Chain A
Amino acid sequence: MERIDEDDRRLLREIQNSALISAAALAKKLGLSEPVVRRKRRRLERVGIISGYHTELDPKKLGFLVSAILKVLLNGEDLSRMRRVIKASPEILECDRTIGNEAYIMKVLVRSTEELEAVIDRLIPFGHVSSTLVTSSPVKKRQPPIAFATEKPEGSLSE
């Protein structure tokens, strides 16, 4: 694991919020010189701590009005076939395989409940599908917790 210092962490937080911030503005915010900011940012990119940049969209503005969390409890069907179906489904934005009960948990984004039904129907052959409609996300999706990166196994978390 790459070592990062407090300035790296502050820098990461800033560019997670807004990747387009200039080196000059960043230097001013962090109280560092521009060359230092540039060097730090390049290093974080090089070692893979910054794995890329992405653009965030508002799904509702694009007509995707329904978001749901689906859970599939496998019934022993062909796993690789299900993974192929999942990967070929653009409506499934995230899919995690979890421990216990062989469950797959997915985040789905669609335009209508009819489209949601179609996704569920695609998964039904593989197991028991349960779904929850997402009504809100009180905390906007954010990036991994930089503050915790250098934590030790023992020792308690501060509130």
Chain B
Amino acid sequence: MSNPGKPRAKDSPLTLDAIDWKVLHDLQMDGSLTHAELARRYARSPNVMTQRIARMEKAGIITGYHARVNPRALGMPFTAIIRISVTRDRLKAITKTLKNRAEISEWYVGEGEGEAVTLIIKVHLTFIERVEDIVDLLAGYGTPYATVVLSSPVDGREIERPGGRGAGGSADI
């Protein structure tokens, strides 16, 4: 396949048709689907299907294929969300401090008041007490707030075609 790891910014925008969106949906649900199986599902030849997917990889729409790992099966049943408000100039130092912390799975910088930004991170833990490790690291930069996740009614939903899966016509992107 082409190199999906390096999306190129200068690519001209692609127009995705209904089949493309269906393929994107299927691949998000199951990244191990073969091109042959997708070709069969949408009554296309395997070559045509491979071309469609290669086109989306090249355009940087598809950026990678990953194994999904279940943190529970690995003995990490706890999830926590930590939030801290910091001044923008400290962000670099915090990033450096936390970058290699393996328990962090998600990390967002949001807009805050004035010079402040809000940092929100999600961590997976073997024990709830472990949340202190991250909180302690952040304490030097401001006041971190931590909360433990009880349940996740929605977890990793796929990106859907705007206007719903059933929408007809082509979507300009």
Check if A and B associate.
yes
Q: Which residues of A contact B (CB under 8 A)?
A: 1-2, 4, 12, 15-20, 47-59, 61-64, 67-69, 83, 86-87, 90, 92-100, 103-107, 109, 111, 132-139, 141-151, 153, 157
Whole-angstrom distance between the alpha carbons of A19 and B155 in the complex?
20
- Within 40-85 of B, Cβ neighbours of A (below 8 Å) are at 59-71, 73-76, 79, 81
**Chain B, Cβ-Cβ closest to A152:** B126
Size of B's binding interface in residues, CB under 8 A: 73
B111 x A135 contact (CB < 8 A): yes
Closest to B107 in A: A139
Are the C-beta atoms of B148 and A144 separated by less than 8 Å?
A: no
The answer to whether A97 touches B67, judged by C-beta atoms less than 8 angstroms apart, is: no
Q: Is the interface of A mostly helix, strand, loop or mixed?
A: mixed
Number of A-B contacts (CB under 8 A): 237
Known: A62-B159, A64-B159, A148-B103. A100 touches B147 (CB 8 A): yes
**B66 A143 Cβ-Cβ under 8 A:** yes
Render B114-130 as a binary contact track against A, CB cut-off 8 A, 1 for contact: 00011010001111011
| Contact of B28 with A57 in the complex, beta carbons under 8 Å | yes
- Distance (whole angstroms) from the CB of B101 to the closest CB of chain A: 8
Contact of A99 (CB < 8 Å), options: B1, B24, B99, B147: B147
Q: How far is the CA of A126 from the CA of B73 in the complex (A)?
A: 34
Q: Are A17 and B74 in contact (CB under 8 A)?
A: no
A49–B126 CB distance below 8 A: no
Residues in A with CB closer than 8 Å to B74 are 1-2, 4, 49, 144, 146, 149
Q: Are B109 and A57 in contact (CB under 8 A)?
A: no
A99 engages B153 (CB within 8 Å): no
Whether A55 lies near B153 (C-beta < 8 A) is: no
Q: Are B107 and A61 in contact, CB atoms less than 8 angstroms apart?
A: no
Chain A residues in 8 Å Cβ range of B171: 63
Asked if B105 contacts A143 (CB within 8 A), the reply is: yes
From known contacts A48-B73, A139-B107, infer whether A96 and B79 are also in contact, taking CB-CB under 8 Å: yes
Question: When A and B form their complex, which 10 residue pairs have the shortest distance between CB atoms, in order from nearest?
Answer: A132-B110, A145-B102, A53-B31, A144-B71, A55-B27, A95-B154, A139-B107, A15-B67, A53-B32, A51-B70
